[in-house]
Structure 1
Amino acid sequence: MAPPPGTWRSTPKAAEHAAKYNFNLLPEDFEFTAEETNLIQMYDTVKQFEREATRLKEKKARERIYANNQPQQQQSQVDDDDEQNDQDENGKLSPRTPPTAAASAAAALASNKKRKAGRGKKKKPSSAAGVMNDSSDEEESDAESAQSDADQNIDAITLAERRAAKLEALRGEVEGKKNSMTEEELLEEQRRRELLATNDDDGIDDGRVLKRKRPMPSQEGGKSLLSKMMTAQTPPHDFSEKLGLKSWKGTVLFPQTTDELTWSPPELASNPNDGAFLVPMENFDITKAQNGEGPNTLALKFTAPSDSKRFSFNIAGPGHEDFDSILFHFNPRQRQKGGQLVINDKQKGQWGRPVQLPLSQVPLIFGQTSVTLLVQINGDGFDIFIEGKHCARLEHRTELPSKPCTLYLQFPSCDDYGAPENWKVFKAWWGNKESMAKDDISSVAGVNTFDSVHPRKLFIQGLPKIRDDREVELRRAELERIFRRYGGARGVSTLVPKNVGYAFVEFETDQMCNKAFQEMADKYPFKITRARRSKHEALMDKRAAEAAAGNAKAAGDW
């Protein structure tokens, strides 16, 4: 080993050290320059800083261990007292009392210290500069030992202790967030807990958010979130609970037996009454219906396939004559003008002026698993509710019987032209339910409309379409010739539009019109019905009647 740098002093003491330590000489055997002396002092200062940093690091580690163990020590204070009483004379724990996590950590710490004490200190040779004395080596070894003890103290904490400390930290964070939550957030949190838990109250946390326990498979009471999701959709053969059907007073019109599951129109039918569904709606009294008493509501649960073009049902009064007169007609048509809902009435074989609205303005009807439809009868008319939405109203066009009577519900097999209808009825119910119409229904289709039979005009339909003036004149002459004998001296007036298959014939008096309708309805090859009067025509007739009454009064006064 080469001698270290510096000025060598050839003395007997130096020779003795060189022979004894193999040139591992002590600092006093050298003479250093001023720069070397400053360097040695700076090195000593750095080592002091390192020892101080190690001490502070050890202190911080101990504080962290104490902070993590404090919550668990507070919770298990009673258990620690019991363990202390169960110790035997030798200071060992009783076999029936398991050691706590803190005791395990203390035992591990003591074991590590014993192993450290029994471990011999390894001599560290002097550095090349020869600046480390025996005392500095010993202090550095003590610092490293303290650091090793601190690291092993951290390792001595069990996995359960670390989990417990982490759980306590999370609980504290949750409690802090809970205390800072607003009222709306608290309500939302409570609703979330109610959905995820059961209906059994197990306690109140903080007096603010309700805590619940998840039920065991054997427990009863309460519904989990999964069960609520599974029962949220009402089965197709039953009405939704939100309609309050249990509180209604009424009877089930369909199915009447357990064998009947659904009803669908027959595939082959020659007319609407061929194989149609017909059931009476008993105990109808318009006086009680106006007051919210007695049967006033028809409820249907049905489905219409996505490929269905149309379907319909009718409500008729007594003496309908095979539904030749209908009080209420409901008819969705998916393929007509982009989808139309048609609501109408029929008097003596003549359809009235329809109330039409696009299907886009009502809840989905076609292609749904099931649809709920309600028709409420009141003093103003028939109110239609689809999935709870007030969609339309058909005002009364015929005076209803003043005495209690029986109405009739019909599901036709086809339309008037033999086109098949496609839908499936699950359930029909007839009974009493309070009015669902709101105070302001001015925006509902069919409200405040006017429609009545024209007393002096007939409607001829089913005619071939005409396209030019010559054909118009020929048709007008033909109609005037056929109905001339019913028109008196003045004859009849006709209205023949182009590009359509109908025409109108107007008479001078009501009696002439009635006689022509009675005699020609079955003789004429095309269909003849009574025409409808528009609101403008009704106003004109009303003004004419008032003017006639005024003239008569003036003549009497004169």
Structure 2
Amino acid sequence: MSSMKRGKTEVQGKGIRFDKSVVMEEGGGGESPPFTVSGGGESPPFTVEGGVEGGESPPFTVGGADGGESPPFTADAMDIEGGESPPYTAGMGGESAAAPPAPSGTDTITPTVSTSTTMAAIPKKKKTAKRKPPPPPLGAPLVKPPPPVDKNALLFPSDSGDLILTYDWDSLKAAEPLTLPLNDYSPDGILKATSSNTLAIEFTTPGNSSRFCLSIAGDNKDENKIFEHTLLHVNPRQFWKGGKMLLNDCQGYNTWGKAVTADLEMFPVVFGVKRAIMVIQVREEGFDLFLQGRENFGEGGGRESRMVKGYGDGLMHCYRFEHRARLPAEGDKLWLQFLTHADDKKGENQNWTVHRMWWGKQTLFADVHPDGSVPGVNLQQQLHPHKLFISGLDKGDGSAGHLERQQAIMERDFQKYGDKQEGVVVSLRNGGSYALVTLADKEMTDKALVEMRGKYERMARADKTQREILEDRERREKEEAALAATSW
């Protein structure tokens, strides 16, 4: 068997480059026919070493680019004995003549040629920059772009109510507290939901702010004493006891009621948020507090059921603070006040900026809770109507004689507020550090809270005991059953 040898050559003609690989059988030493490119003259002879043994290589031509005819080209990879090879032609602009049949009975291997043409790379299209719209012609009216979508438009509607603040109020820069009237108030309208009942506040509180606060009070003939009796005091404290929301009322000058607190982590984050919203709704039962900020809670705990759908972006019902005093009478109005940083007597970093406020009529959001749960409900019923809690007392030496003297002093101080028959009941606890004082009724207790504040600074209404709560529940159930029996 003869061996095979692969040769490689390059041919150039009329600006066209060809890369030809030829496979042939060694032997003989015959010459190959010339290789021509038609059009533009003859190419120099193309010789392949080792022709077909005992014969000549068939002609190989490529048609020119000028439309001339190409001589025959035969490429028979597998010559079948006694048969003809199928014709193969390669033309470049003209007709190709059929290849002559290979002679029968000869062991002929004709060269196999693969042709590859290297073409120039197609240039990529350049990306064209977006064309800016041409400027309007001189004198044409300028078209303003549409305003951004306000997700909280329903909380600050322009068709009802009033924007009572349209500029930024900064507690650090303000020289005095911000005090605003809440007009269009009616206690009967609150009961029937026909008058203004909703306050919406959009604000920013820096992440390093310790607290901020606001107060709502009723009318007062002396404008300088309006906020001595506060219906609602809202005071979020970021760094106090791990973060607390504090709600309270004020029953006279510096006479605070019993504060209620809740963990801030249960509510949306309002400290360090670009824009947060607080909504307060006045209703027959009390004040409903809502917050919108950054989410800070997972699933469970009934929190999802307190989200108000359709208003703003994640408004959550946080608390209901039941009324501890009567709302102002018909013809009076409510008042709103924000304190400045300088007004914080404890020197806390009270820092926040109020951007806008709206006061008007809205649907009562808390009525849409799927499970009917309202946080803070019945909280007021847990406070004892005529029992005081007084702390910060002098423990002395802790002896029995000291406790007897302390009890006698307190009975004498509160004697005029006691019941005519039972008098005043003073019960000292924890070695005399605090005391429970039972008075005649709610009216006398309210009076004592105001008049005795100078001597007993840490004084507030006491909580009911569990036994007292159960007794009150049984009494209400009996009264309701008796009323139902007489209504038939």
TM-score by length of 1: 0.53
Give the residue type in structure 1 aligned to 2:461.
A
CA RMSD of aligned residues (A): 4.9
434, 444, 456: which one pairs with 1:526? 456
Indicate if the aligned counterparts of 1:312 and 1:332 stay in contact, CA closer than 8 A: yes
Alignment partners' CA distance in 1, 2:201 and 2:266: 20
Deviation at 1:338, TM superposition (A): 0.3
Aligned counterparts, 1:116-265, within 5 A = 116-125=38-47, 127-128=49-50, 131=53, 133-138=55-60, 142=73, 146=90, 155=119, 159=122, 216-218=132-134, 240-243=151-154, 245-255=156-166, 261-264=168-171
User: For each residue in 1:378-426, what CA deviation from the matched residue of structure 2 results, as whole angstroms up to 9, or x when unmatched?
Assistant: 2332222211222222123333346353100011344576756332222
User: For each residue in 1:172-229, what CA deviation from the matched residue of structure 2 results, as whole angstroms up to 9, or x when unmatched?
Assistant: xxxxxxxxxxxxxxxxxxxxxxxxxxxxxxxxxxxxxxxxxx8843489xxxxxx99x
**In percent, how many aligned pairs have the same letter?**
28
Go from structure 1 to structure 2 and tell me whether the alpha carbon gap of 1:472 and 1:218 turns closer, same or farther (over 3 Å shift).
farther
Aligned counterparts, 1:348-497, within 5 A = 348=252, 350-387=255-292, 388-401=315-328, 403-413=330-340, 414=343, 421-437=350-366, 438-440=368-370, 442-451=372-381, 454-461=384-391, 463-464=393-394, 468=398, 472=403, 474-484=405-415, 487=418, 491-497=423-429
Go from structure 1 to structure 2 and tell me whether the alpha carbon gap of 1:139 and 1:489 turns closer, same or farther (over 3 Å shift).
closer
Alignment partners' CA distance in 2, 1:142 and 1:292: 102
Indicate if the aligned counterparts of 1:385 and 1:391 stay in contact, CA closer than 8 A: yes
Indicate if the aligned counterparts of 1:450 and 1:535 stay in contact, CA closer than 8 A: no
Aligned counterparts, 1:49-128, within 5 A = 116-125=38-47, 127-128=49-50
Could you list the runs of 5+ residues in structure 2 that have no partner in the other structure? 7-35, 63-71, 76-88, 94-113, 137-144, 293-314, 482-488
Choose between structure 1 and 2: higher strand proportion.
Answer: 2
Choose between structure 1 and 2: higher helix proportion.
Answer: 1
Alignment partners' CA distance in 1, 2:392 and 2:457: 6
252, 267, 279: which one pairs with 2:180? 279
User: For each residue in 1:368-387, what CA deviation from the matched residue of structure 2 results, as whole angstroms up to 9, or x when unmatched?
Assistant: 22321111222332222211
Deviation at 1:365, TM superposition (A): 1.6
Deviation at 1:122, TM superposition (A): 4.0
Q: Give yes or no for the alignment of 1:504 onto 2:420.
A: no
Indicate if the aligned counterparts of 1:304 and 1:367 stay in contact, CA closer than 8 A: yes
User: For each residue in 1:74-96, what CA deviation from the matched residue of structure 2 results, as whole angstroms up to 9, or x when unmatched?
Assistant: xxxxxxxxxxxxxxxxxxxxxxx
Indicate if the aligned counterparts of 1:517 and 1:528 stay in contact, CA closer than 8 A: no
Alignment partners' CA distance in 2, 1:544 and 1:244: 42
Deviation at 1:297, TM superposition (A): 1.1
**Where does residue 110 of structure 2 map in the other structure?**
none
Go from structure 1 to structure 2 and tell me whether the alpha carbon gap of 1:491 and 1:500 turns closer, same or farther (over 3 Å shift).
closer
Q: Across the two proteins, how many residue pairs are aligned to each other?
A: 371
Indicate if the aligned counterparts of 1:441 and 1:447 stay in contact, CA closer than 8 A: no
Could you list the runs of 5+ residues in structure 1 that have no partner in the other structure? 1-34, 47-113, 164-213, 221-226, 233-238, 269-274, 551-558
Deviation at 1:286, TM superposition (A): 3.5
Deviation at 1:247, TM superposition (A): 4.5
Indicate if the aligned counterparts of 1:303 and 1:369 stay in contact, CA closer than 8 A: yes
Give the residue type in structure 2 aligned to 1:340.
K
Alignment partners' CA distance in 1, 2:447 and 2:360: 42
Alignment partners' CA distance in 2, 1:136 and 1:546: 120
Indicate if the aligned counterparts of 2:168 and 2:353 stay in contact, CA closer than 8 A: no
Indicate if the aligned counterparts of 1:283 and 1:404 stay in contact, CA closer than 8 A: no
**Where does residue 322 of structure 1 map in the other structure?**
226
Indicate if the aligned counterparts of 2:58 and 2:74 stay in contact, CA closer than 8 A: no
TM-score by length of 2: 0.60
Go from structure 1 to structure 2 and tell me whether the alpha carbon gap of 1:526 and 1:425 turns closer, same or farther (over 3 Å shift).
same
User: For each residue in 1:464-506, what CA deviation from the matched residue of structure 2 results, as whole angstroms up to 9, or x when unmatched?
Assistant: 5679565655533432344457655755322333389643322
Q: Give yes or no for the alignment of 1:288 onto 2:189.
A: yes
Secondary structure at the counterpart of residue 39 of structure 2: helix
Alignment partners' CA distance in 2, 1:287 and 1:532: 31
Secondary structure at the counterpart of residue 398 of structure 1: coil
Alignment partners' CA distance in 1, 2:158 and 2:432: 51
**Where does residue 211 of structure 2 map in the other structure?**
310
Indicate if the aligned counterparts of 1:286 and 1:378 stay in contact, CA closer than 8 A: no
Alignment partners' CA distance in 1, 2:50 and 2:276: 96
Indicate if the aligned counterparts of 1:465 and 1:500 stay in contact, CA closer than 8 A: yes
Indicate if the aligned counterparts of 2:414 and 2:424 stay in contact, CA closer than 8 A: yes
Alignment partners' CA distance in 2, 1:383 and 1:507: 31
